[in-house]
Copies of this chain bind each other. A is one copy, B any other.
Amino acid sequence: MHDLLAITLKRLEGVSDDDRDVLAALIGETRAVSAGRVLVEEGSCPQVSMLLLGGLVGRVSILNEGGRQISELNVPGDFVDLHSLLLKKMDHSLVALTDAVIATISHVSLKLLCEARPRLMRALWGETVVDGAINREWLLALGRMSATERLAHLFCELYVRLEAVGLAADYRFDLRLTQSDAADMVGITPVHVNRSLKTLREQSLLEWRGGSAIIHDWSKLARLAQFDPTYLQPRLISSDQNPS
């Protein structure tokens, strides 16, 4: 946990150690929440942002007829919901997709801090901009790739992001999501996720059972998904600087 906080802070760009300390001091209570818990309700006006220290959190939009889309996935080390600092009203919900550990930072103090320390504000802005880059990549996947390709892309991205925060190595990582969750990320039905995973398994590219994922052939998988980690660059810096 503690290293995760450190990693998060370290990857803020162009920020002095002093700034980091002040930010760290603002972090309030850390709490554990269990899978399925709605952290922020659609329509509400949150007073805090969060730092995800463990587990996975999803940004979830619901359609009338039960359609569910997860538009963003946060992994440990991510700031969650910096957006709400600037938007009045949530247009979607935040849900803990697994058991998770969360630290909160109040908006008031964050705003004050931003006014006082432009460098820090810029770094936080940068975080939301990277979120946007990930979003665009998902958009590309949803718009123009097949089901298997989308899943392949998701696993590539997850591996790289988790690896950057020390939660993946040797092409293995824990992923305690349901196939339905994955379906809601890549925009297909759970049944079809199942079949697509089977395809990937049969091609010896990827295995995902019992919450643990193994990428058997990274280069083939990445080629299939046309995965180019450029868009994640800013999130990788921390791992570049301290190869574990």
A88 within 8 A of B: yes
Instruction: Please judge, given known A-B contacts A89-B233, A121-B125, A131-B132, whether A226 and B64 are in contact too, CB under 8 Å.
Output: yes
Shortest Cβ distance from residue A97 to the other chain B in the assembled complex, whole angstroms: 16
Q: Verify A144–B63 contact, CB threshold 8 A.
A: yes
Partner of A68, one of B92, B144, B228: B144
Q: Tell me, in angstroms, the Cα distance from A231 to B43 when the chains sit together.
A: 11
A69: contacting residue among B83, B89, B115, B144, CB under 8 A: B144
29 contacts between A and B (CB under 8 A): A61-B137, A61-B140, A63-B144, A63-B145, A67-B145, A69-B143, A71-B135, A71-B139, A71-B140, A87-B233, A88-B233, A91-B133, A91-B136, A91-B231, A92-B136, A116-B118, A118-B118, A121-B121, A124-B125, A125-B125, A125-B128, A131-B132, A132-B132, A132-B135, A139-B139, A139-B142, A142-B187, A143-B187, A144-B187
Nearest CB in chain B: distance from A58 CB, A:
12
Query: A71-93 CB contact bits vs B (8 Å, 1 = yes)?
Result: 11000000000010011110110
A59 at the interface (CB under 8 A from B): yes
A129 to B135 alpha-carbon distance, docked (Å): 12
A230 interface residue per 8 A CB criterion: yes
Copies of this chain per assembly: 2
Does A234 interact with chain B (Cβ within 8 Å)? Answer: yes
Residues of chain A from 36 to 71 with CB closer than 8 A to chain B in the complex:
59, 61, 63-64, 67-69, 71
Does A114 touch B at the CB level, under 8 Å? yes
Contact with B along A204-239 (1 / 0, CB 8 A): 000000000000000000000010101101100000
Which residues of chain B come closer than 8 Å to A28, judged between CB atoms? none
List chain B residues, Cβ under 8 A from A133: 83, 87, 91
Q: Which residues of B contact A140 (CB under 8 A)?
A: 61, 63, 69, 71
Say yes or no for A138: interface residue by CB 8 A criterion. Answer: yes
In chain B, what residue has the closest Cβ to A132?
B132
Task: Give A225 Cβ to nearest chain B Cβ, in Å.
Answer: 11
A72 to B139 CA separation, bound complex (whole angstroms): 9
- Identify the closest chain B residue to A229 (Cβ): B91
Which B residues are CB-close (under 8 A) to A143? 69, 71, 142, 184, 186-187
CB contacts (< 8 Å) of A83 on chain B: these are 129, 132-133
